[in-house]
Amino acid sequence: MGYDTMKERRALAKELDQKQHELRLKNQHDDWLADSVFPSLYAQCSRKPINPKLVVFAGTKSEKLPYTMRSLFTKLTEQGYTCRYFGVPSSFKNRKAEFAYYKEFFASYGVCKCLYIDDIFAPVYCVEPRAGQHVVQLWHTPALLRKAGYAIGKRGVAGEIVDRRLVHKNYTDVVASSGYVKNTLASVFNCSEDIIHGWGCAHTDVYFDKEFIRKSRHDLVRLVPNLTSQIGDRKILLYAPTYRGENDHAYTHRMLDLLLLKRLLGDKFVLLIRMHPLIQDGSLIVGDMRDLVHDFAFEVPQSVSIDATLCGSDMLITDYSTILFEYSLLGRPMVFYAFDFEQYTRRRPLFYDYASFVPGPIVYDSAQLSDAVLDMQTDFDEEQIRHFARKYMGGCDGHSTERIIHYTVKK
């Protein structure tokens, strides 16, 4: 027994040494890119004059253009600008492919009028933009509830990234959903509030498009498998929680009593479940439960846009997700299912006092959730939602895309 235990300890120690060695190599490689490759490529590629009709988009979360950038990309293209998107692959095949990617990126960045990013993007922090260029942080959420970046300090993965090498540097502009959230964004990016502008978020323009909202419900019902034949005249409850854990180890929970919710709500509602995109395998409807709730609970595929999913739903159930900000623009009811509040906020502290911040009832189990949903049928305070939207989303008015373009590309 002791031999096996010692053998296991040696194997674990060897595995740990290997991981530490790989991390050292990665850090050395990242340092080489940041200190040598990126500055050299930018110096070489920025010798030519700025092309006032070239706009670059870059994102780290997807190889495809993220929805937060689509309206800007589309509008600029329609107005005759050349737009290029650079999505960082999840991994490069080899160093040669990685260098080719960055060489192509800097060939465009070095001469573009404007660079838009929506998250951390390493090349931006290694070189200051030349005079006449805009480097614009759009961020991937309209406002913030959970602390992130420099506001976290040295906690978790985000803290380690911030501590290892200064990030969120060299922005000329940071886009905010309203002037009220400038202080939170300044603490996240460790920047002056002077470069933060309450222009509103470009992707929220569709929330003011009545035709888009009308069509969203039709598309949502049509694209969710089996929902078309089941929904009837029932209303749509959308459950859209955030993830637990860290970005690279995201997971969900199964703390919804679907059978109870079906029994109490099933005659008036259907329940749609939309998982956070970071969760790869997080179904809440598993095993025999699928047959038991097949006419009540349905999963929304990631192929259905989050905007269409929100606009097509009658009520939102969420927790600590920032989608409450977008949903507030619709003026519809929200319920906050915070069964793990103490545990969650120990790992991810919030900017605000949760109980006084969220514009709707907070519940802690499925029975309370059912009661809150039913109460909302007769006791919904729409003005509470509208007040929340004016405060935190005041810059979002259906014209944010054009406003951002005006100040960052045309001006």
330: domain CATH number?
3.40.50.12580
> Average of pLDDT values for 64-82?
96
Domain range enclosing 44? 26-200+399-410
Backbone angles phi and psi of 67, in degrees to 5 = -65, -25
Same domain for 213 and 102: no
User: In this predicted structure, what is the pLDDT of residue 158?
Assistant: 47
* 386 within domain boundaries: yes
Of residues 27, 60, 348, 36, the one with CA closest to residue 163: 27
Same domain for 381 and 256: yes
Answer yes or no: is pLDDT of 203 > 90. Answer: yes
**How confident is residue 82, by pLDDT bands cut at 50, 70 and 90?**
very high
Answer yes or no: is pLDDT of 6 > 80. Answer: no
Same domain for 370 and 277: yes
Same domain for 252 and 169: no
* E-assigned strand segments in 267-363: 269-273, 297-299, 315-318, 334-337, 362-363
Determine the Cα–Cα distance for residues 12 and 20; give it in Å rounded to an integer.
12
- Written as six digits, the tokens of 246 are 């860290």
Of residues 156, 337, 361, 371, the one with CA closest to residue 242: 337
* 277 within domain boundaries: yes
Number of domains the chain contains: 2
Same domain for 154 and 128: yes
Backbone angles phi and psi of 270, in degrees to 5 = -115, 150
User: In this predicted structure, what is the pLDDT of residue 368?
Assistant: 97
User: In this predicted structure, what is the pLDDT of residue 156?
Assistant: 44
Paired sense of beta strands 134-137 and 173-175, if any: parallel
156: left (phi over 0), alpha (psi -120 to 50) or beta: left
User: H-type helices in 33-129, by residue range?
Assistant: 38-45, 67-78, 95-109
Question: Does residue 352 sit in helix, strand or coil?
Answer: coil
Of residues 190, 191, 149, the one with CA closest to residue 172: 191
User: In this predicted structure, what is the pLDDT of residue 164?
Assistant: 58
Chain position carrying tokens 């989050």: 306
Same domain for 211 and 187: no
Same domain for 263 and 121: no
User: In this predicted structure, what is the pLDDT of residue 157?
Assistant: 41
Same domain for 225 and 162: no
- CB of 237 closer than 8 Å to CB of 246: no
- CB of 148 closer than 8 Å to CB of 188: yes
Determine the Cα–Cα distance for residues 278 and 248; give it in Å rounded to an integer.
8
Same domain for 270 and 176: no
* 5 within domain boundaries: no
Question: Does residue 83 sit in helix, strand or coil?
Answer: strand
* 340 within domain boundaries: yes
Of residues 304, 303, 295, the one with CA closest to residue 220: 304
CATH number for 163 = 3.40.50.11820
- CB of 170 closer than 8 Å to CB of 117: no
**How confident is residue 281, by pLDDT bands cut at 50, 70 and 90?**
low
Q: How many CB atoms lie within 10 A of CB 7?
A: 10
User: How far from 143 is each of 50, 188, 393, CA to CA, in Å?
Assistant: 32, 11, 8
- CB of 81 closer than 8 Å to CB of 53: yes
CA angle 46, 50, 56 (to 5 degrees): 85
Same domain for 112 and 34: yes
User: In this predicted structure, what is the pLDDT of residue 26?
Assistant: 77
* 4 within domain boundaries: no
* 14 within domain boundaries: no
> Average of pLDDT values for 87-102?
86
Question: Does residue 195 sit in helix, strand or coil?
Answer: helix
- CB of 365 closer than 8 Å to CB of 338: no
* 98 within domain boundaries: yes
Q: Which residue has the higher pLDDT, 161 or 197?
A: 197
- CB of 237 closer than 8 Å to CB of 314: yes
Same domain for 230 and 257: yes
Same domain for 348 and 298: yes
Determine the Cα–Cα distance for residues 272 and 154; give it in Å rounded to an integer.
37
- Written as six digits, the tokens of 130 are 């030349």
Determine the Cα–Cα distance for residues 26 and 40; give it in Å rounded to an integer.
20
Q: What is the mean pLDDT of the chain?
A: 90
**How confident is residue 240, by pLDDT bands cut at 50, 70 and 90?**
very high
**Digit-coded pLDDT (tens) for 308-338:** 999 999 999 999 999 999 999 999 999 999 9
* 7 within domain boundaries: no
